[in-house]
Amino acid sequence: MDRQVTEKLRVVILFGGRSGEHDVSLASATSVLNALDVNRFAPLPVYLDQHGNWFPGTSPSDAARGDTVSSDSTIAACDLLNDPFRWLQNQADVVFPVLHGTYGEDGTMQGLLEILGLPYVGPGVAASAVAMDKAIFKQLMEAHGLPVLPWQLVTAKQLDAEVDQVIDQLEAKLAYPLFTKPANLGSSVGISRCEDRSDLLAGLKEARRYDLRVVVEQGIRPRELEIAILGNDDPQASVVGEIRPQRSFYDYTAKYLSGDSELLIPAPLDARTARDSQELAIAAFRAIDGVGMGRVDLFLDATDDRLYVNEINTIPGFTEISMFPKLWNASGIGYRELVTQLIDLGLERARQTQTLTRTYRALVAE
Ligand SMILES: Nc1ncnc2c1ncn2[C@@H]1O[C@H](COP(=O)(O)OP(=O)(O)OP(=O)(O)O)[C@@H](O)[C@H]1O
Ligand SMILES: [Mg+2]
């Protein structure tokens, strides 16, 4: 390698992964790799297949073709296959996990990168885990006085033992339509809209297939607003965007398959609602201790103009047509600049945490 190349920051792009959003990750990683500023960064793609194997130097297009043999001779594939973690430590200056969902966005990968001492893009372990868990997320929003729709947590144990009583209690507290959701899964998988008692029974059973905890939530007719957040200590909000799904709700088909949902950027809102949405998005991001990036999804109840926090995606979609880069583009930060800022924010965060005292022994010695 010539000197110029070695002086560049080596950015490992992790993509693929074991979640249902594997294919979305391939599309996101393609866009990130295309946008990476090669004057400053040397990209190193690493593909994670659906079984948990790691493949260095496999590009998203190789992965899509099923070709996982690295064509890059500078990468010792066997090292990585035998000991991917040591390999990562040696090869990466910073890691950009472009992984959505379970084992990528939920704090587990972030934990691994923390243990390896590697700087990475996006929120840390706790923020990632909290954002993935719809129940803990709602509890945290409530603790911060931030608005969420009325909801109730139901456990598998309750469902298996006393489903009729559970449904009685839900009906006493919430009014149809209701949404049933597995607590810890994304991409609208396992989510149902329930109009009546028999729907609710079916919805609870469906969600329980995916998780031992089920969130039951008051249904409204929302306008769906999304705000992109960027920053560490002083997170900034993008302009507000709106999604108008063509289907009855923004389900997996609407998100990834049909592509017919309408994106409005900026959302047609009065100035005050737009500002309130941005402030709420930043408050929610701060509440989970978010750093780097996040896409905050809000519901606006069209009947009374009230805003609710729905969820935060800590590794939002990064394809050319994804909301996160589009919102920043509309806010004056183009795709390339966005990726550069995200990497710099990850490095900044790592510099800050490296100065912290981590051991009890060190405390005693001081
Ligand atoms: N309480 C509700 N009232 C009306 N519509 C809802 C409600 N909850 C969810 N929806 C609809 O279902 C969609 C998916 O729900 P939600 O965003 O909670 O889960 P998710 O999409 O699985 O999570 P992720 O966005 O991380 O993949 C929403 O975008 C919205 O269209
Ligand atoms: Mg969602």
Distances, alpha carbon 314 to alpha carbons 51, 216, 223, in Å: 23, 23, 21
Give CA–CA dist 128/355, Å, rounded.
22
- Structure token digits, residue 356: 């912290």
Give CA–CA dist 309/138, Å, rounded.
8
Task: Choose which residue among 195, 301, 310, 313 to substitute to test ligand 1 binding: the one with the highest number of ligand atoms within 8 A of its C-beta.
Answer: 310
H helix or E strand, kind and range, residue 229 = strand 222-231
For ligand 1, what atom is nearest to the CA of residue 250? Answer: 31
Any atom of ligand 1 within 6 Å of the Cβ of 232: no
Among protein residues, the one whose CA lies closest to atom 6 of ligand 1: 219
Q: Would you write out the chain's pLDDT as a tens digit for each of its 366 residues? A: 454 556 899 999 999 998 888 989 999 999 999 999 999 999 999 999 998 888 888 899 989 988 776 555 455 555 666 677 888 888 899 999 999 988 899 999 999 999 999 999 999 999 999 999 999 999 999 999 999 999 999 999 999 999 999 999 999 999 999 999 999 876 677 999 999 999 999 999 999 999 999 999 999 999 999 999 999 999 999 999 999 987 666 565 555 555 668 999 999 999 999 999 999 999 999 999 999 999 999 999 989 999 999 999 999 999 988 999 999 999 999 999 999 999 999 999 999 998 887 776 655 555
Any atom of ligand 1 within 6 Å of the Cβ of 217: yes
Among protein residues, the one whose CA lies closest to atom 18 of ligand 1: 310
Buried b (16+ CB within 10 A) or exposed e, 47-71: bbbeeeebbbbbbbebbeeeebebe
For ligand 1, what atom is nearest to the CA of residue 190? Answer: 22
CB 223 within 8 A of CB 299: yes
* Res 73: pLDDT: 47
Q: Which residues pair with 260 in a beta bridge?
A: none
Q: Is the full-model pTM beyond 0.95?
A: no
Give the type of residue at 283: A
Residue ranges of the chain assigned to CATH 3.40.50.20:
3-120
What top-level class would CATH report for the domain 3-120? alpha beta
Ligand 2 center–CA 313 separation, angstroms: 8
Any atom of ligand 1 within 6 Å of the Cβ of 250: yes
Which residues lie below 8 Å from residue 326, measured CB to CB, with a gap of 6+?
241, 263, 265
Among protein residues, the one whose CA lies closest to atom 3 of ligand 1: 219
- CATH H superfamily, domain 150-218: ATP-grasp fold, A domain (3.30.1490.20)
Give CA–CA dist 86/314, Å, rounded.
26
Ligand 1 center–CA 180 separation, angstroms: 10
CATH of domain 222-353: 3.30.470.20
Residue ranges of the chain assigned to CATH 3.30.1490.20:
150-218
Sort residue 57 into left (φ over 0), alpha (ψ -120 to 50) or beta: left
Residue ranges of the chain assigned to CATH 3.30.470.20:
222-353
